[in-house]
Structure 1
Amino acid sequence: MNAVVLVVAALLLLSPMVTVSSPVHFGEALVVLGGVAAMLVANAVLLRVGLAPLKRLSRAMTAADLLRPGKRPAVTGHGEVAALIGTFNAMLDRLESERATSSARALSAQEAERRRVARELHDEVGQTLTAVLLQVKRAADRAPEPLREELSAAQETTRASLDEIRRIARRLRPGVLEDLGLVSGLRALAGEFSESGLTVRHRFDGDPPRLGQDAELVVYRVAQEALTNAARHAGVGCADLELRCAPDAVELVVRDAGRGMRGATEGAGMRGMRERALLAGAHLAVAAGPAGSGTEVRLRVPVRTLPADRTTATAHDGTPTSQGAPT
């Protein structure tokens, strides 16, 4: 456009139709200034139109978050601008794929370490405390009356420590989830929090479709983290835990009527929930409750077709539980 304007101006100045007087006449000055103004306006319009895709790309770069995948700027513009946006989208796809892979490996290693620690607590520390408890009990039975009270107090302290060790082992390795399925695991989780002081009102819509071992563990861990946040930060004594079932998805909802996030930045626990949601291909939303207060955590896990060779085991209550390769 600049070249066209300059060529046209040069041809007009060289032609006999346009003359420049000395001194310059008012009409001639108006023509020159009008041409300059027209050229500046044309440049401004063209630059705004041409650089608009780059502004959208800049906003997309600023808002990009690998924990909230899927958003891509539209490929608009021409030439290098369109190529730049396409390259950025391809880079986001690659980064999200690599992040999902690395998160899956890290979470898998974390769960394996939790199982190992839980097994050590149960098999080593638990059995040692049980032996100590029996020895203290035998000593208390044979001890004289003044010493018997002290040994009974030591016995109660050892029993409380043993119960705490077992509770920690259950939270590290949800055996109910592995043995009886998702609903039983969530019901046991609600019972544990209720025993620790947070009343959990739970409601489950029937039997959910099979999600696979990894996806069910993701749902359980998100519920566990959400209830932990409610117990620590909400400042209320109760929370709601719901599991809603649909033909194509399973939705977990954890809600409290406490203080809410109040603009606070997301901590490690919230980032961990988002990483787990990415691992299961699920969508996680954290927002205020329906009444505008409290916090609501909503996890929607799509139901996927499981492999045909996946084996099925029978739980203690007769319900089938899926075992085998993760989905």
Structure 2
Amino acid sequence: MFRRIFLLNAAVLVAAAALLLLGPVTISTPVLLTEALILSAGLAVMLIANAALLRLGLAPLQRLTRAMTTIDLLRPGPRPVAAGHSEIADLITTFNSMLDRLEAERATSSARALSAQEGERRRIAQELHDEVGQTLTAVLLELKRVADQSPAPVREELLLVQETTRGSLDEIRRIARRLRPGVLEELGLASALSALVNEIPDHGGLTVRRRVTGPLPALGDEVELVLYRVAQESLTNAVRHARARHVDLSLRRVPGAVELCIRDDGRGLGGAPEGAGIRGMRERALLIGAGLAIGPGPDGGTEVRLTVPTTQREPLP
């Protein structure tokens, strides 16, 4: 790079010196106006030529700088083209190789972290079901036995405690199902999405409509889990943050892919930065080579669209 810039500048200066030595132009003492104008014009031409040559030579580096400042490992994009002279092309090629290594290392570490997270969720769900659930069930049975043997005033209070305990048991079971979606393993993705929609509380006036267009192509366990978790996170965001009244969840087959779309009519993302939930969805999408688009819906609100390519292009039904 230094050698090329030096040679370009040297060529411009040599050309200017040759024009002064061999050309008909001379410099008088004192300097005449016409001579000053000629020298000024020559200097301007030299500066313009030097700027143009440097801009052409450094243009690939400017493109590389823009790529460095805008790159996001969670949103893979096109690589900078290895253009320019050998040194610049080698630099861009090295940068692209570094990006490939970083994305591969991030994918590996994310896969391990998500696998550990799913394992921890299964363990906690199992403990909630086996330990806490069984303990609360025993408490319910004991409360019923004591209530049956108690006088009427005490029995009424015990029945209230019993209902509160039963509500806590139902909540623990619901949390365990969200941590470990057993219905996904037993009945498949469509049934798991139906159960997920049915678990959304209706006291807030939120209406969720589910539509699964089938038959769907065969999907692996990992792909189905990613689809389920993205739907789960999207519905959770719609319930907690979007202030939405209606949510549409659709799963359908498109040419060469399976598409999951969750769309609400809430307040939208605005200018809020992406939180851990959305970044977690992006990491899961990268693990299965899927595309994730999050943005405003056609009628406002937020739209989350996950497109999972299939191994074989399936015809539409």
1:203 aligns with 2:211: yes
Deviations 1:136-185 (A, max 9, x none): 00000011111101111111111111111110000000001011111111
2:170 to 163, 170, 179: 163
1:176 to 171, 183, 205: 183
Deviations 1:27-81 (A, max 9, x none): 4333322221111010111122222222222221111111101332222222322
Query: Structure 2: where are the runs of 5+ without partners?
Result: 1-7, 313-317
Q: Mark the CA change 1:12 to 1:161 in structure 2 (over 3 Å): closer, same or farther.
A: closer
Aligned residues between the structures: 304
Deviations 1:214-253 (A, max 9, x none): 1100000000000000001121233111001135211000
Residues of 2 paired with 1:44 and 1:18: CA distance?
25
Identity %: 68
1:283 aligns with 2:286: no
SS at match of 2:199: helix
Question: Could you say which residue in structure 1 is the equivalent of 2:265?
Answer: 257
What is the CA-CA distance between 1:304 and the residue it aligns to? 2.6
Matches within 5 A, 1:98-137: 98-137=105-144
1:33 to 33, 40, 43: 40
Deviations 1:259-282 (A, max 9, x none): 111111111111111111111111
Question: Could you say which residue in structure 1 is the equivalent of 2:70?
Answer: 63
Residues of 2 paired with 1:167 and 1:66: CA distance?
35
1:224 aligns with 2:232: yes
Residues of 2 paired with 1:132 and 1:303: CA distance?
49
1:48 to 30, 52, 55: 55
Query: Structure 1: where are the runs of 5+ without partners?
Result: 306-327
Asked whether the equivalents of residues 12 and 50 of structure 2 are also in contact (C-alpha less than 8 Å), the reply is: no
Question: Could you say which residue in structure 2 is the equivalent of 1:268?
Answer: 276
What is the CA-CA distance between 1:82 and the residue it aligns to? 2.0
SS at match of 1:65: coil
Single out whichever of 242-251 and 96-105 deviates more from structure 2: 242-251
TM-score (normalizing by structure 2):
0.91
- Root-mean-square deviation (CA, aligned residues, Å) is 1.8
Q: Mark the CA change 1:24 to 1:232 in structure 2 (over 3 Å): closer, same or farther.
A: same
Residues of 2 paired with 1:286 and 1:122: CA distance?
35
Deviations 1:179-234 (A, max 9, x none): 11111111111111155653210010013112200110000000000000000112
Q: Mark the CA change 1:149 to 1:33 in structure 2 (over 3 Å): closer, same or farther.
A: same
SS at match of 2:154: helix
Residues of 2 paired with 1:4 and 1:234: CA distance?
64
